[in-house]
């Protein structure tokens, strides 16, 4: 096989993400909350897909579950400042577990509805 081969987990995540994105679409009133999990942290964005613009974007300062929880709380506060309370959650093909779940729970406790 020529070129760089990807591991199976990465391919499965990309397939899940592609499948999810066919059903999820953010609007001006209910933007899409996109989550990207890397080795160094968690990156989150509020995206208006109709205008193709990013409303809000933040990243965590660490890679632990506590950092994801803090990011969720901060993200909810910043979203409220932008007058956004209802969102569509896009987990980016990641399993709803660990850091992604901790972030989502903290964002819900902060006042976001999804």
**Domain 25-109, what fold?**
Nucleotidyltransferase; domain 5 (3.30.420)
- Residues for the chain: how many in total? 114
The whole-model pTM stands at 0.84
Select from 37, 15, 16 the least CA-distant residue to 100: 37
Q: Whose CA is closest to 106, among 79, 61, 76? A: 76
**Cβ(109)–Cβ(73) below 8 Å:** yes
3-state class (DSSP) for residue 52: coil
pLDDT tens for the chain, 114 residues: list them: 455 566 788 888 888 888 888 888 888 899 999 999 999 999 999 999 999 999 999 999 889 999 999 999 999 999 999 999 999 999 988 889 999 999 999 999 999 998
Kindly list the domain boundaries of the chain, sorted by start residue: 25-109
């Amino acid at each position: 096989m020529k070129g760089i081969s990807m591991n199976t987990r990465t391919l499965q995540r990309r397939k899940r993400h592609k499948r999810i994105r066919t059903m999820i679409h953010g609007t001006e009133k209910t933007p899409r909350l996109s989550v990207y999990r890397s080795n160094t942290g968690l990156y989150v964005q509020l995206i208006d897909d109709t205008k193709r613009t990013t409303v809000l974007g933040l990243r965590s300062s660490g890679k632990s579950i506590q950092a994801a929880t803090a990011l969720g709380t901060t993200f909810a506060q910043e979203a409220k400042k932008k007058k956004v309370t209802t969102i569509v959650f896009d987990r980016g093909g990641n399993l709803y577990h660990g850091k992604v779940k901790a972030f989502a729970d903290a964002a819900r406790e902060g006042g976001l509805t999804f």
